Amino acid sequence: MTVTAQPSVPSDIAIAQAAKLRPIAEVAAEVGLGPDEILPYGRYKAKISAEAIAKRKPKGRLVLVTGINPTPAGEGKSTVTVGVSQALRRLGKKVVVAIREPSLGPVFGVKGGAAGGGYAQVVPMDEINLHFTGDFHAITSAHNLLAAMLDNHMHHGNALGIDPRRITWPRTMDMNDRALRSTVISLGGINAGPVREDRFVIVPGSEIMAILALAGDLADLEARISRIIVGLTRDRKPVTAGDLKAAGAMTLLLKDAILPNLVQTLEGGPALVHCGPFGNIAHGCNSVAATKLGLALGDIVLTEAGFGADLGAEKFFDIKCRFAGLKPEAAIVVATVRALKMNGGVKKENLSTPDVAALQRGLVNLEAHVKNVQKFGVPVVVALNRFTSDSDEEIRLVLDAAGGWNARAALSEVWARGGEGGEAVAAEVLAALDEGKSDFKPLYDVALPIKTKIETIAREIYGAAGVDYQGPAQKNIALLESLGLGGTPVCMAKTQYSFSDDPTKLGRPQGFRLTIRDVYASAGAGFVVALAGDIMTMPGLSKTPAAESIRVHPDGTIEGLF
């Protein structure tokens, strides 16, 4: 077994801070946007005006980037997305990358940022990973305005007859803070309003985030906000944001946030970074507005969906593409030898040692994701994201296996070599597009009962033997269907680490039953959410969060951000 050395690569933040960036007007001009069509936020980032969006129609070809189940070994889905876009640009293609905005929770937690890595990043990386153009703050404010107006209505007589025991609208903040998962509010006496239980969700799990990501324009945004269900009356009738007369003010807070953000890759190519719903507790896709704009500006759009294909890709196909009328023509499934060996039973500290037998065991995870994507009628390209410790034999095993699953495959070295290291994957993507074999179709008929849709996803995508409903799930499914919400897609909230709802079951679990403990409405977003296992909508920090290693030096350079 031979291991081919790769060049030493500086840290992500060091690479990003050393990059020479193009003025954002130059990046805009590359895709035909004039100076009066962008709204600059400093020198290197901008929003794109509503007028510029309205006068352009999608014409490009859409490619999804997804991956295997994430592990502590690393997969590099965002890195491959950016790197392959750089490669396609090097090959003379008019390409736009469209990805999600990072959340502060993971940035200061354990996952890090979401701007790519190595020499395949979108920049300015530090600004994108932190406050960016203020979209997350606008979402936070709009969400919490509705919470405040709801409690204010209760305080001033509760004319709508809202049952305080059946309030479903939480509060939100963009930070991992487990202490806020369950709270009691209004403890300040009679002037604080009725005492009741409450909870917080992280901003990427907010229904406002999902609504913003799916809205077509301001009018659609306000209409969706109006449909948000905040709770029930004592006779189980829904009360909405429209009933509370909150939709107009909430839309005002979001009027700039709905506009896609333009930045650039390290090699100067255009990148749209907009909205950031998580893939495990939300629908995991960047905005419809940004994706459609990318398809209007470029010939090829690369977009990424959160976590493994069992979550992000399924929701991209069954929710985003269904609502937006998108027809993806190819999908890249990202994997690493290290992650596959972890799926094969190898501990993290031993992953640098070549182990073909463990890799062979772990390949079932990649195989399942490839075949799941193919169920949607979309051709697959496997991108094997290379690490220094990968042996030639291990690399060849993965690439050969992909061919046996009727998928194209190539080695990705974008982390170390940027666009040049992604040309092999780019060539396979272009070949898949040239073949024109995509026959995209969603997995299920949206008109099916909620249980049938849940069980179809569990069986066809996760490989479950069946589904068990616990807690309020059964009762809430019946309630949602009685309210006319049975004919919507299902957004599954499940651990990202396993096909099952048990994060310890790696590889390709068989014979398990999926446990659904609750189902609730995201009526404004247009789907219902099913909570599987112990998934939390407000994450917590680890014992040693990334925040402990982050510093800003007197000269403004940053240390520890990744």
Give the residue-averaged pLDDT of 76-83.
95
Which one of 403, 435, 467 terminates a domain?
Answer: 435
Q: What is the DSSP letter of 118?
A: T
pLDDT attached to residue 112: 62
Per-residue model confidence as pLDDT tens digits over 522-551: 999 999 999 999 999 999 998 888 888 888
Identify whether residues 248 and 269 lie together within a single domain: no
How confident is the prediction for the chain on average, in pLDDT? 95
Per-residue model confidence as pLDDT tens digits over 310-320: 999 999 999 99
What is the rounded distance in angstroms from the CA atom of residue 69 to the CA atom of residue 365?
8
pLDDT attached to residue 7: 58
User: How does DSSP assign 342-354, residue by residue?
Assistant: HHTT--GGGTTS-
pLDDT attached to residue 1: 41
Phi and psi based region of residue 305 (left: phi greater than 0; alpha: psi -120 to 50; beta: remaining): beta
Q: Residue 448 pLDDT more than 50?
A: yes
Q: Residue 74 pLDDT more than 50?
A: yes
Identify whether residues 296 and 429 lie together within a single domain: yes
Identify whether residues 357 and 290 lie together within a single domain: yes
Identify whether residues 179 and 165 lie together within a single domain: yes
pLDDT attached to residue 2: 47
Per-residue model confidence as pLDDT tens digits over 331-390: 999 999 999 999 999 999 999 999 999 999 999 999 999 999 999 999 999 999 999 899
pLDDT attached to residue 241: 98
Contacts of 29 (CB under 8 A, 6+ apart): none
Q: Which amino acid, one-letter code, is at 386?
A: R
Closest CA to 536 of 251, 201, 269: 201
pTM: 0.95
Identify whether residues 217 and 280 lie together within a single domain: no
Higher pLDDT pick, 7 / 199? 199
Closest CA to 540 of 73, 111, 147, 101: 111
pLDDT band at residue 193 using 50, 70 and 90 as cut-offs = confident
pLDDT attached to residue 325: 97
Q: Which amino acid, one-letter code, is at 520?
A: Y
pLDDT attached to residue 10: 87
Q: Residue 561 pLDDT more than 90?
A: no
Per-residue model confidence as pLDDT tens digits over 503-527: 999 999 999 999 999 999 999 999 9
Q: Is residue 82 part of a domain?
A: yes
Per-residue model confidence as pLDDT tens digits over 273-298: 999 999 999 999 999 999 999 999 99
Identify whether residues 19 and 40 lie together within a single domain: yes
CATH number where 517 lies: 3.10.410.10
Q: Is residue 209 part of a domain?
A: yes
Q: Which residue segment(s) compose the domain that 230 sits in?
A: 135-253
How many residues does this entry show for the chain? 562
Identify whether residues 281 and 428 lie together within a single domain: yes
- Segment among 18-22, 102-106, 192-196, 276-280 with least mean pLDDT: 192-196
Q: Is residue 561 part of a domain?
A: no
Give the residue-averaged pLDDT of 466-484.
96
pLDDT band at residue 3 using 50, 70 and 90 as cut-offs = very low
CATH number where 122 lies: 3.40.50.300
Per-residue model confidence as pLDDT tens digits over 228-274: 999 999 999 999 999 999 999 999 999 999 999 999 999 999 999 99
CATH number where 248 lies: 3.30.1510.10
pLDDT attached to residue 11: 86
Identify whether residues 369 and 463 lie together within a single domain: no
Per-residue model confidence as pLDDT tens digits over 366-379: 999 999 999 999 99
Identify whether residues 319 and 382 lie together within a single domain: yes
pLDDT attached to residue 401: 98
pLDDT attached to residue 111: 60
Q: Is residue 562 part of a domain?
A: no
Give the residue-averaged pLDDT of 171-191.
92
Q: Is residue 443 part of a domain?
A: no
Identify whether residues 371 and 479 lie together within a single domain: no
Q: Is residue 3 part of a domain?
A: no
Q: Which amino acid, one-letter code, is at 184?
A: V
Identify whether residues 140 and 235 lie together within a single domain: yes
Q: Which two tokens stand for residue 485?
A: 């919400």
Identify whether residues 430 and 286 lie together within a single domain: yes
Q: Is residue 2 part of a domain?
A: no
pLDDT attached to residue 555: 87
Give the residue-averaged pLDDT of 105-119.
82
Q: Residue 433 pLDDT more than 60?
A: yes
Number of domains in the chain: 3
Q: Is residue 9 part of a domain?
A: no
Give the residue-averaged pLDDT of 389-404.
96
